[in-house]
Amino acid sequence: MQLKIEMNHLKTLVFTCLLGTLSVHTSQAQHIDCTSNSKSSLLKKICVDPLAENRKNLETQYLTAYLISDAPLRLLADTHLLWFSRLEQCKSLLCYQQLFEQRIDDLNVYTSLNQSLTQHYLKYEKGKISKMPVHLKIHQLSKDRIKVEGISYRNANNKLETQFIPFLSYTTPDKKTEIVDNEHDCTYSFKYQRSILKVSSKQKGCERFVGIYRLYD
pLDDT digits (tens, 9 = 90+) for 134-187: 999 999 999 999 999 999 999 999 999 999 999 999 999 999 999 999 999 999
Cα dihedral 23, 125, 137, 60, rounded to 10, equals 40
3-state secondary structure of 114: coil
pLDDT band at 65 (very low <50, low <70, confident <90, very high): very high
From residue 169, alpha-carbon distances to 24, 48, 105, 176, 206 in Å are 33, 41, 22, 10, 14
Please give the average per-residue pLDDT across 42-55, as a whole number: 94
Q: How far apart are CA 18 and CA 37, in angstroms?
A: 23
Question: What sign for the dihedral angle of Cα 68, 134, 79, 46?
Answer: negative
Domain spans in the chain, listed from the N-terminal domain onward: 2-112, 118-216
Instruction: Check pLDDT > 70 for residue 77.
Output: yes
Cα angle 126, 31, 27; round to 5 = 55
86 pLDDT higher than 60 = yes
pLDDT one-digit tens code per residue, 172-196: 999 999 999 999 999 999 999 999 9
Residue 13 pLDDT grade (very low, low, confident, very high; cuts 50, 70, 90)? low
118-216: CATH architecture: Beta Barrel (2.40)
3-state class of 62 per DSSP? helix
When comparing pLDDT for 113 and 15, which is higher? 113
pLDDT tens per residue across span 23-46: 343 334 457 888 877 778 899 999
Contact 51/100 with Cβ under 8 angstroms?
yes
Q: How far apart are CA 108 and CA 68, in angstroms?
A: 10
Q: What's residue 48's pLDDT?
A: 95
User: What is the chain's alpha carbon radius of gyration, rounded to the nearest angstrom?
Assistant: 19
For 45, counting Cβ atoms within 10 Å of its Cβ (0-12 exposed, 13-18 middle, 19+ buried), the class is: middle
Question: Mean pLDDT, to the nearest integer, of 44-49?
Answer: 94
Query: Quick one: pLDDT at residue 29?
Result: 46
Q: Tell me if 169 sits within 8 A of 181, measured CB to CB.
A: yes
What is the phi-psi region of residue 86: left when phi exceeds 0, alpha when psi lies from -120 to 50, beta otherwise?
Answer: alpha
Say what the pLDDT of residue 22 is.
40
Please give the average per-residue pLDDT across 111-129, as a whole number: 92
Asked whether residue 7 carries a pLDDT value surpassing 60, the answer given is: no
Average pLDDT, the chain: 87
